Structure 1
Amino acid sequence: MRRTAWILIGFGVLLLVLAALLRFVVAPAATKLPSDTDTTTTYSGKGSVLNVAALQSGDVANALARDIPVTLDRHVYVSDSDGDTAIVHDDGTLKAGSASSQNNHTYAVDRTTMTETAPINGVQVEQHQGLTVTMPVDPQPTTDIYTYWDSVTRQAVPVTYIGTEDRAGRETYHYRATASGALADSALQQQLPASLPRTLAPRLLALLPTQTQQQLAPLVAALPPQVPLAYTATSTYDVWADAKLGAPLDTKINRSVVANVILGNTVLPLLPVLAVDVTEDQASVADAASRADDAALKLDWIELWGPIVLLVLGLALIVVGLLVGRRPPEPPVDAPTARVDAGSPAAT
């Protein structure tokens, strides 16, 4: 077989190997949570926020700001990764008027399933179960497959599939998760009073719903000097996840934290001390969709078009090489016979 044929076949085989590596080695790695993930999302809406300083000073009239504009900045980033594990930070800053509060969480996340895994490199993380910051690649449009970790009540709750919807020109799956229970987030707990002086009770009654006033009014005289409070929280999360990548393109959060009075074995709801209803800004939605477009195009080339192109070129080179190798060699060209003139010395 000719040397040219071997060269063509060799390059063809090399392209086939590269196609296999791209599809079965590089592609699976490309579907993992990127180690350089770093996004900031802005939410805006309305909320009610407790002014703890005003409440404790007796300024009941200004203790609760109701239906004021609020914003939430959410910074999600990966600080470390090793193999299939990533250390993911989910830092939130809530701004209401001149007040702001932070609520930060750190998780060890499996970069493929996006659920909990063991931490790496001695990093301290929050124990959790289920999803936290994103869905996995190629999420399933169905209910009761996924669970979502509610950091406020520290429980995993089921995720419900609502339907398929468009966001910024991309197909998304709309999911919803609702969590309700005792407040268990230590950062939020530290921002709220553990008890209130009994002397504030008469003035607080005016802020309460009529039914609560009727329940508490006869009990005010029997309250202890410091009235213990317990907090419950209810949160509803709506997420529009990219149908291909699983990345959240739009999110809505509705949360309410309620203070409850503990009287013996009876817990009476007092008033909401934190209520937010925020939706992701359109600029953040457009930015997320743009990143998804770029990532989806890159993934398509890695998973599909790149391997196909390499496969076709590799097979073509092998076929050409075999054809060149099977072609019979051309016969050698005979050297021309020298002409001898009759008058030359050789003719005598």
Structure 2
Amino acid sequence: MRRSSWVLSGAAAVLLAASAVTRLAVYPAVHQLPSDTDSTFAYTGTASLLNAAALESGDLANAMLADVPVSVERHVQVVATDGGTAVVSDDVTVAGPDGTELSSTGHRWSVDRTDLDDRPVPDGEEAEEHQGLVISWPLEPEQQDYTFWDPTTASEVPAVFDRVEDVEGRETYVYVMSAAGPLADPDIAENLPAALPRDVLAGIAETLPAEQRPDPAALAALPDPVPLTYAATIERVAWIDTDTGAVLNGSLEQTIVAQTEGPDGPVTLAPVNTMAIEGTPEGIADRADDAADDARALWLVGFLLPLVLLVLAVLLAAFVVWREVRGRRGAAPAGGDPEPEPAS
């Protein structure tokens, strides 16, 4: 084999190796939750909640702020990584129409960087225990049910696949989650009173629709002040990009009710915090654009580039073989009997 053929064969081998490395090493490295993830998701809607100032002044008629416009920001940031595990901060802030902060929650989770499921907390880091998905979906979502962690009730619930739907030109899988149970988020609980005067609860009850009001006789029989516990019901819907697993849109309906212990168990008194929010149109459009860019980049690294390198390697190897075969066929025979003279 000629020296040039050796060089070309080596180049073909390099291209073949580059194709394999791109698909088997580079693609998995980029197809995971980036270590510099720092995203903010914007939502808007309305909330009804206890009016702390009115309660302090005894203004029972205004003890509840009803249907207040709110804006919600969810800030998700990777704060540490350990191989295929990421520790992620998850902070949610609810603000009123004038920008005043109404409530905030903060959590820290340890998740797998590819399927976003729960993972053991890396040494030296701190994160809350949980089971299932909590900040997002697997990077390659499927039409199936998943386990989801609801931080408000600190419980695992099914994320049920519901349908396929278009969002800003992107195909999404839609999942529905429902949770109910005692309020378990300490950041929410600390902003709710441990007890309220009986007349305050009666005043709040008067503002409710008739079918939601507690029995007046049962209310009058309660101690004064009334010791309270809280329970929550949560309804979530998530629109997940089918190519990247990115959350393009989401909605939340949350109701927190005050309860007290009765002779036969907890007695529901009144809702003290309700909220209904969904993604803002601008945020949805931005996330759809980002998902389209990410999908193109993943297709380039995971499919097109390895394929191009593989094709080049095969073509170059084929050229070397063709060149060698052609060279051997065109070479003069070395030694042997001379060809016979033609007969005269």
Give TM-score, length-normalised by structure 1: 0.89
Residue 132 (structure 2) aligns with: 130
Q: For residues 178-189 of structure 1, what are the structure 2 equivalents within 5 Å?
A: 178-189=178-189
Structure 1 unpaired stretches of 5+: 332-348
Query: 1:323 is matched by which residue type in structure 2?
Result: W
Q: Give the Cα separation in 2 of the matches to 1:201 and 1:133.
A: 36
SS of residue paired to 1:294: helix
Q: Between Structure 1 and Structure 2, whose CA radius of gyration is higher?
A: 1
**Cα–Cα, structure 1 residues 213 and 322, in superposed 2: closer, same or farther, change >3 Å?**
closer
Structure 1 residues 70-103: Cα deviation after superposition (integer angstroms, max 9, x where no partner):
1111111111111110011111001124442211
Residue 230 (structure 2) aligns with: 231
Q: For residues 187-226 of structure 1, what are the structure 2 equivalents within 5 Å?
A: 187-211=187-211, 213=213, 215=215, 217-226=216-225
Query: 1:224 is matched by which residue type in structure 2?
Result: P
**Cα–Cα, structure 1 residues 27 and 47, in superposed 2: closer, same or farther, change >3 Å?**
same
Moved over 6 A (4+): none
Q: Give the Cα separation in 2 of the matches to 1:152 and 1:201.
A: 23
1:118 pairs, out of 111, 117, 120, with 120
Q: Give the Cα separation in 1 of the matches to 2:131 and 2:244.
A: 21
Q: Give the Cα separation in 1 of the matches to 2:153 and 2:214.
A: 29
**Cα–Cα, structure 1 residues 297 and 324, in superposed 2: closer, same or farther, change >3 Å?**
same
**Cα–Cα, structure 1 residues 163 and 319, in superposed 2: closer, same or farther, change >3 Å?**
same
Q: Give the Cα separation in 2 of the matches to 1:199 and 1:66.
A: 19
**Cα–Cα, structure 1 residues 297 and 220, in superposed 2: closer, same or farther, change >3 Å?**
closer
Percent pairwise identity: 38
Structure 1 residues 33-61: Cα deviation after superposition (integer angstroms, max 9, x where no partner):
11111111110011112123422442222
Structure 1 residues 178-197: Cα deviation after superposition (integer angstroms, max 9, x where no partner):
10111011111101001112
Query: 1:153 is matched by which residue type in structure 2?
Result: T
**Cα–Cα, structure 1 residues 323 and 95, in superposed 2: closer, same or farther, change >3 Å?**
same
Post-superposition offset of 1:32: 1.4
Q: Give the Cα separation in 1 of the matches to 2:255 and 2:306.
A: 50
Residue 172 (structure 1) aligns with: 172
> Within the alignment, does 1:312 sit opposite 2:311 as a pair?
yes
Q: Give the Cα separation in 1 of the matches to 2:309 and 2:207.
A: 71
2:108 pairs, out of 106, 109, 119, with 106
Post-superposition offset of 1:325: 3.0
**Cα–Cα, structure 1 residues 205 and 24, in superposed 2: closer, same or farther, change >3 Å?**
closer
Residue 336 (structure 1) aligns with: none
Residue 340 (structure 1) aligns with: none
Post-superposition offset of 1:223: 2.7
Query: 1:200 is matched by which residue type in structure 2?
Result: V
Q: Give the Cα separation in 2 of the matches to 1:178 and 1:202.
A: 30
Post-superposition offset of 1:222: 3.6
Q: Answer whether contact 1:56 1:196 (CA < 8 A) is retained.
A: no
Post-superposition offset of 1:176: 0.6
Q: Give the Cα separation in 2 of the matches to 1:225 and 1:264.
A: 16
Residue 322 (structure 1) aligns with: 321
Give the RMSD, CA atoms, in angstroms: 1.8
Q: Give the Cα separation in 1 of the matches to 2:272 and 2:220.
A: 24
Q: Which has the higher contact order (CA 8 A, sep 6+)?
A: 1
Q: Which moved more, 1:97-106 or 1:288-297?
A: 97-106
SS of residue paired to 1:129: coil
Q: Give the Cα separation in 2 of the matches to 1:82 and 1:70.
A: 37
Residue 156 (structure 1) aligns with: 156
